[in-house]
Amino acid sequence: MGTYLIILLAVLSVGLSAFALWQRERLNWRFKMPQAVTATDSPQFERIFDYMAPTGQAHSPAILLDHDEFYITWFEGSQEAQADVDIHAVRFTQTGAGWRAGTPGPIVTRRALGDVFEPEQLVVTLGNTVENENATGGMFATVVSVGGWAMASVADLRLGQGGLMWARKLNLSPFLNRSFLVKSPMVAMADDTYALPAYFEMGATYGAFVRLDSDGRVCDARRMAGVGNKPIQPMVVPLSDTRAVAFLRDFDPSGRLLVSHTENGGKSWSAALSTDIANPSAPVAALALGDGRILMAMNDDAAGADRLRLAISGDEGHSWQVISTLEQDDGDARYPMLRRVSGGDILLTYSHATKRGIRACLFNQAWVEAQ
């Protein structure tokens, strides 16, 4: 009886495999290059948001674009990784006088997220967020149900008019789906999907370049591993349709920023190696400006993260020239994120005063060129 059952199951598996092969989506391992923006107007730089948490900490801001508006989100609570941390946000709308910030407030609470999770489950604390550019109202959030950041998972969330509507975890690890986090924005691919830079924070640590299918489910993941270091928080910058550079934080206090390269659209990544760029084990934000030029917001002092500077590279990240010092000697200014908003201006946000508040600056390409 057992043999017949096994044969029947094997035949069934052949049918299931045929169906899986028929419905699979073929991934295009090529990057979609952003359109180059040329400086046409006068240089402009403006601080558009300066927020201090009433109590506790506000940290790790992200930028969510929504047509002609944008949101800045961050996590806020008594202290990072505590059981009272929720995701807060502020909405920016464009008026004749420029961008106007709404009232900051919670947008995703732990209880609400636990309720809409599929399947319903406990959420103890929340962390880094990034926009899910694959989906309208989409956001990825770092979620912890037990333990600390090393036990985190990445949740795919949907936000609508009524608030949080739905969530599920991305499947990234066979160890109870634990220890994956996000920090940096998604990467546009030539097949109109987006890849998600993520990282594994337990043990050896490594960066990951996660491909998602049209349903937003993980369908591939490639590692950015290190040699004698602990790469996390990859910031991926496409340089051509097949080449990209990833800047990674060294979780070990080496005092140096790490870098990894791909020559095949993210299919494989070189070993993450140290650069000459000083770094106090802090993530960086970067943006491709076209023609091999990269704009980066970074903490470039190995001794501390109180100095945040903007630098530009004209040779795909091999050498850098500092163009502006944004913060210095006023507490840590960390976790920058850079994105282009509608109209082509560049938005930079980061936490300041050692995780006490969130700042955001808006500037244009002409300002970058003028520095």
With H, G, I as helix, E, B as strand and everything else as coil, classify residue 189. strand
Tell me which residues in 104-123 interact with other proteins (CB under 8 A). 114, 118-123
CB of residue 98 to other proteins, shortest distance in Å: 43
- Provide φ and ψ at 13, rounded to 5°: -65, -35
Determine if 206 is a binding residue for other proteins (CB under 8 A): yes
| CB-based contacts of 193, cutoff 8 Å, min separation 6 | 27, 134, 211, 212, 213, 214
Q: Which is nearer to other proteins, 127 or 280 (CB)?
A: 127
- Local structure of 112: helix, strand or coil: helix
Q: Does 200 bind other proteins (CB under 8 A)?
A: yes
> Please, what is the minimum distance in Å from the beta carbon of residue 168 to other proteins?
9
Taking Cα atoms as reference points, which of 314, 306, 304 lies closest to residue 279?
304
Distance of CA 80 to the CA centre of its chain: 18
Task: Kindly tell me the number of DSSP H helices and DSSP E strands found in the chain.
Answer: 3, 26
Please, which of residues 5-24 interact with other proteins by CB under 8 A?
Answer: 5-7, 9-10, 12-14, 16-17, 19-21, 24
What number of residues does the chain have?
A: 371
- Scored b (16 or more CB within 10 A) or e, 311-328 reads bbbeebbeebeebbebbe
Taking the complex as a whole, the smallest distance from the CB of residue 14 to other proteins amounts, in Å, to: 8
Largest Cα span, the chain: 81
User: Applying CB under 8 A, does 97 fall inside the site for other proteins?
Assistant: no
CA distances from 283 to 170, 257, 280, 298, 367 (A): 22, 9, 9, 7, 24
Q: How many CB atoms lie within 10 A of CB 79?
A: 12
Which one of 41-49, 76-84, 186-194, 197-205 is the stretch in contact with other proteins (CB under 8 A)? Answer: 197-205
Residue of 81, 219, 278, 341 that binds other proteins (CB under 8 A): 219
Q: Is 40 in the site for other proteins (CB under 8 A)?
A: no
Residue 16 beta carbon to other proteins: minimum distance, rounded to whole angstroms: 5
Q: Which stretch binds other proteins (CB under 8 A): 47-55, 89-97, 204-212, 242-250?
A: 204-212
Confirm or reject binding of residue 28 to other proteins (CB under 8 A). no
Other CB atoms closer than 10 Å to residue 352's CB: what's the count?
Answer: 26
Stretch that binds other proteins, among 59-67, 222-230, 244-252, 318-326 (CB under 8 A): 222-230
Q: Which is nearer to other proteins, 4 or 35 (CB)?
A: 4
x/- mask, other proteins, residues 144-173, rule CB under 8 A, reads: -xx----------------------xxx-x
Q: For other proteins, which is the closer residue by CB, 106 or 114?
A: 114
Q: Give the residue among 328, 364, 338, 244 at the shortest CA–CA distance from 284.
A: 338
Q: Please list, in sequence order, all residues whose beta carbon lies within 8 angstroms of the beta carbon of residue 97, skipping any fewer than 6 positions away.
A: none
Indicate which single residue of 35, 95, 215, 291 sits in contact with other proteins (rule: CB under 8 A): 215
Residue 6 CA to residue 34 CA, distance in Å, equals: 52
Q: Using the rule CB under 8 A, is 220 a contact of other proteins?
A: yes
Task: Give CA separation, 331 vs 183, 215, 308, 314, 327, in Å.
Answer: 21, 42, 10, 30, 9
Q: Which stretch binds other proteins (CB under 8 A): 3-11, 61-69, 234-242, 257-265?
A: 3-11
Tokens of 225: 């591993």
Segment near other proteins (CB under 8 A), from 38-46, 54-62, 203-211, 251-259? 203-211
Residue 223 engages other proteins in binding (rule: CB under 8 A):
yes
Among 85, 108, 198, 225, binds other proteins (CB under 8 A): 225
**Shortest Cβ distance from residue 213 to other proteins (Å)?**
8
**Size of residue set near other proteins by CB under 8 A:** 49
Q: Which residues of this protein are in contact with other proteins, per CB under 8 A?
A: 2-3, 5-7, 9-10, 12-14, 16-17, 19-21, 24, 114, 118-123, 145-146, 169-171, 173-177, 200, 202-206, 213, 215, 217-223, 225
